[in-house]
Structure formats: C-alpha cells, structure tokens
Amino acid sequence: MRVRKVANAPVSFGVFELSDGPPPLTPDEMVRALAEAGYEGIDSGPIGYLGTGPELAERLGGAGLLLCGGWVDLPFHDADGYDKALPALTEALDVFAAAPPGDLPPRPTIACPGTPERFARPGGTAPGLPAAEWPAFAARIQDTTERCRARGFEPVFHHHLGTHVETPEDVERLLELTDVQLCLDTGHLLLAGGDPVAALRAWADRVGHVHIKDGDTAILAQALADGVDLRELMGRGGFAPLGEGELDLPAVVRTLDEIDYEGWIVIEQDTLPGRRTVAQNIADQAANRRKLKDLGL
C-alpha cells in the first residue's frame, strides 16, 4: 500500500526569509491552521522559523504534524561560495534530524539561488548556465546529495523559476549528470514552459517529492511585459489557488496513481507578505486541501 501524505508550506503565507521582517503569522498560528485544514505535514520554511531541536518537535508534535522537508539553496555555480555555504546545509540537516519521527521522513529540498538574469525575466526566456559550467555545477549538487545521505536523509532537487535549473531542458541535464531525486514542482514547471503531467511520466523513476502548485501564464506574460521580476510575479498571483490557473489538477492526481508515486505531496501557493490578508491565506490553503481530498488525496 502506498504511503502518501499531504503537506503545506510557509511560502503559502508569504514567509520566505526571516530577514523579511516579522512574519504575517506566528509558527503556532500557522501549524494550527494547517492541522485544522487537514494537512499532515509542513515544510520548514526558512530554517529556524518553526524552531529547532526540542522546540520544533514539540510544536509539530503538539499539532499532529510531521516535517515534510525544507528548502536549502547553495551556490552550486560558485566553488568558493559553495564551500562557504556548507555550514548552512549542516544547520538545516540538524533541524530535520530533530523533527518528530514518522513513516515519511523529511526530504532536504536542495536548490540553487536565483540568477540576476533569470530572476528578472522568469519563465525560460533568459540565458541559462553555459554548457561548459554544467559538469562542475552538477558535481557540487552530487556532493550535497552525498552529504545528505551521510546524515541519513535522501534529498531532492527543486527546479525553480529564476535559477540555473528552470526549464525542462535544465532538469533533463541535471538528471543526466547526477543521481539526485527530483522535487517536481508543477507550478514552476508550468510557468517555465513545461507540461507537469508529461514530466511526471517521463521522470517517474526520479521523482522523490512533489510540490503541487497552480500557475497562470497570462499573469506571467503581463509581468514580463511590465518588466517586473519573479518576486513581483508571485505578488501578482502568478501562482494561483488550485483550480484557478492552468494546471490540470485531476490529470496530475491520476498520473501520481499511474506512476505509483509514494511520498510527500506538498501544496504551495507562493505569495508575498501583505498582498493577501492572513485570513485569506488560511482560507486559500483550506480550500486547496479540500480540492485534493475531492480527488482522493
């Protein structure tokens, strides 16, 4: 029998970086809202937001939630920067190790930071990593993968708008040069010109984590026409509530069954602080959870 659980993430409430200022809701408010909406897990958000050590375990355990994983970006394109950033990876893995135990462990979700060109023009229209730089770039991703495995975690790599791994072609290159599993994000792939359903089938043997996110290409087109960046795209609702964008959600769910996917399914709706009220964000994520329940998840 497949083990699958549904989680949500702080990004759905506009919580990306602790340096952005006071978050729109406290960690206790967030975990309570998600537990009440029927979620089984939560992404860590920025490391430390949900607490660390016993505080993290108590907070999540008290709400009946598991930690599904968390974002860790490292400058894989920069050898010196990568070495200097490795303590952040250790810190994140320490946090994951303190999470409440469950039948689905947290998956370190590794990624690369945004590039100026692609962050300014998300969606696959800006130049990517030069071909000559891919081998060293991928070797550092493989090194991170092995470091995670040495700590008892199986990581996944998150392709993402605005980064060196944005387009379907970038993902194919990553899969060719490493053995890391993939965090397939339906919204980021959709807005980068990909087909999430076809990708789930094509990459089925490498998909280790799934982010279900909707996307609106009309909002993306207007953002590009206006010359605004990825952050403003999120603020404008480029990642729509489930069912309000162009993602074929029923087909995604059917395909997860077809490929016998087992693991975490993380609903996300990236937004910016202050663009929607906390009450609206809570209502959105409750509605998103109901949509998946209606489809059998």
pLDDT of 122: 97
User: Residue 1 has what pLDDT?
Assistant: 64
Nearest to 32 by CA among 62, 76, 66: 62
Contact criterion met (CB below 8 Å) for 6 and 267:
yes
Cα separation, 41 vs 53, whole angstroms: 17
pLDDT in tens, the chain (297 residues): 689 999 999 999 999 988 777 888 999 999 999 999 999 999 999 999 999 999 999 999 999 999 999 999 999 999 999 999 999 999 999 999 999 999 999 999 999 999 999 999 999 899 999 999 999 999 999 999 999 999 999 999 999 999 999 999 999 999 999 999 999 999 999 999 999 999 999 999 999 999 999 999 999 999 999 999 999 999 999 999 999 999 999 999 999 999 999 999 999 999 998 888 999 999 999 999 999 999 999
What does the pLDDT read at residue 86? 98
Reading phi first (left if > 0) and then psi (alpha if -120 to 50, else beta), residue 162 is in left
Is residue 166 within 8 Å of residue 124, measured between CB atoms? Answer: yes
